[in-house]
Structure 1
Amino acid sequence: MKLQELIEEFQASGRYCFTVPEALKRAGSTKPAFQRALRRLELKQHILGLRKGFYVIIPVEYRKSGIIGPQLFIDPLMKHLGLPYYVGLLSACDIYGASHQKPMVFQVMTIRNERVIQKKGLKIKFYKKNRLSTFGYHKQQTMAGEFNLSTPEQSILDLIAYPFDSSGLDNITTILSDLIAKLDEKKFIKTIKEDSTIPLAHLQRIGYLLDLVDKSSITEELYKFIQKQHPQITPLRPDRNWRGAPHNNRWNVAVNAEVQPE
């Protein structure tokens, strides 16, 4: 079977990616002939290599404008790399409809440093975490299968942990105002308790920002949890000087930045 025919067969079955070992076996050709076929199809923009041995299929309608959405191939890619993962930060918020601007980067949390993938209108950035909470993600269905998506609760925790990659506190607070309706109080507290690596300062900042957009039972439960840990004063923006900044007594936060959500 020719590689082009195999790719068409993959597409017909709802697949948008393949690995070289699998395709070589299915094609039944010699390795040199197979490699030549790969190069030809990549030059024609029928496929695109993302990592060694892993290719994405580009349907006809995408060949001029770019590439298919990463959610259609991120799960097979991460399995190819042998890494646990979940789609997070602004990419997750966009999927939940809580991002006011389309993210320019597809953001993925995993347990190892991985170099950025940037090819043909596609940019995938990987963020290393020491562990991925089992309560922090769920399976999200797509027309090509499924992928791991951070829960709304985990998304909030990650936004605070990576403020610059989340477009700053103003944007984070705007997202919180949209995302709060999707939060589950019990899941939120359970996620926090399950992951002992979450800095208490992050939770204090979350509490302060949540109070700006909504005083709900979620903030009350979060407040109770934090108080049991005897929190120290922490700046809202740790990258800025906070000496003399106004003090929020409830969350023990030095408010050294003005937050202006959209």
Structure 2
Amino acid sequence: MEYSDYTSWIHERSIRGNVFFSLDDIEKNYPGVSKEVILVALSRMQDNGLIVSPWKTFYIIVPTEYKLKGEVPPSYYIDELMKYLHRDYYVCLLSAATIYGACHQRSQTYYVMASGNSLRDGVKNGTKLVFSQRQDIPKAYVLQVKTQTGMMNISSPLMTALDIINMEGKIGGMSRAAEIIAELDESFKLSTADYDLLKTYPVPVIQRFGYILSILEYDEHAQWVADACKALNIKFRKTPLKAGKPCDESHEIDKQWKLIINTQIEIDEL
């Protein structure tokens, strides 16, 4: 086989709008060619900027608008990649917050929540893909947004905030979490939100969320959390504001949210 045969196959797929393919796809098209030969051709096409591979054996034909940069944004391919991996998913944390206008700086990290066993993080095409896991993704609270290639799943604003608190260590700590929640404020629309989403998170996450809303002086939002906990019969127990950080008798206790204030949230930066 000539290299031009493979590039012609790529070109034919591209003009038909089939911009994603797997190693299986190309092997089926060239049944008489060894995998090693095909991999060499794929590697050469990557070197030449014709294709990129954000995941082993999964490839993207680079669209014209990204050829100069040599990077394809994850929003272009994440839905197709997760289908390829047979995983339910949603874009989460700072990547979801950015879509809602809460993060104004482009991050070089793309955050994805996936079902099933853990997936390895990796840096591909200039962006680090960071995966978190939930065994049961609450699909009723996952939204879809349009992308260049179709649709992708993202967490709702409320789910985004809860995930940010639940995984604050991944996004820069509790003060950073409070900053993003402040920026998400106008997206929450808690008056029409479903209380049941709270049942999918550990109780300490709900306590921390309520506390942050209180110190941000988002009193209506904080009251919504309190009302939801009462309706759902969610009971609070004393728990640290910062998980994993030592507590002692010198730490103040927030009576409403029953949190041991073992870290300070720098709200003066908000």
TM-score, length-scaled by structure 1: 0.88
Q: Tell me the equivalent position of 2:150.
A: 145
1:248 aligns with 2:254: yes
Q: Which of 161, 164, 171 pairs up with 1:156?
A: 161
Q: Of residues 11, 30, 33 in structure 2, which corresponds to 1:31?
A: 33
Deviates more, 1:80-89 or 1:130-139: 130-139
Match of 1:229 in 2: 234
1:260 matched to 2:263: no
For residues 121 and 38 of structure 1, what CA distance do their matches in structure 2 show?
Answer: 19
SS at match of 2:120: coil
The alpha carbon displacement at 1:57 in A equals 2.3
Correspondences of 1:187-202 after superposition (within 5 Å): 187-193=193-199, 195=200, 198-202=201-205
The residue aligned with 1:2 is 5
Residue 92 (structure 2) aligned to one of 83, 88, 97: 88
CA distance in 1, matches of 2:143, 2:81: 17
- Residue in structure 2 matched with residue 102 of structure 1 by the alignment: 106
Equivalent residue number for residue 132 of structure 2: 127
The unaligned stretches of length 5 or more in structure 2 are: none
Match of 1:45 in 2: 49
| Alpha-carbon distance in structure 2 between the residues aligned to 1:180 and 1:13 | 42
CA offset at residue 11 of structure 1? 3.8
- Given that 2:164 and 2:171 are in contact with CA atoms closer than 8 Å, whether structure 1 keeps it comes out as yes
Residue deviations 1:18-72 (CA, integer Å, cap 9, x gap): 22233444x5574336444323212212212233321122345534534111011
Q: How far apart, in 1, do the equivalents of 2:33 and 2:193 lie?
A: 50
Q: Please say if residues 16 and 57 of structure 1, whose CA atoms lie closer than 8 Å, have aligned partners that are also in contact.
A: yes
- Residue identity over aligned pairs, in percent, reads 26
Aligned pairs, how many?
A: 258
Asked if residue 70 in structure 1 is aligned to residue 81 in structure 2, the reply is: no
| Counterpart in the other structure of 2:175 | 170
Q: CA RMSD in A?
A: 2.3
CA 1:76/1:83 → structure 2, altered by over 3 Å: closer, same or farther?
same
> Could you tell me whether the CA contact under 8 Å between 2:72 and 2:125 is conserved in 1?
no
Separation (CA, whole Å) in 2 of partners of 1:53 and 1:259:
44
Q: 1:46 to 1:56 in 2, by over 3 A?
A: same
CA distance in 1, matches of 2:217, 2:245: 26
Give the aligned residue type for 2:24.
P
- Shift in Å at residue 240 of structure 1? 1.7
The answer to whether the 8 Å contact 1:66/1:122 transfers is no
Counterparts of 2:5 and 2:208, CA distance in 1? 57
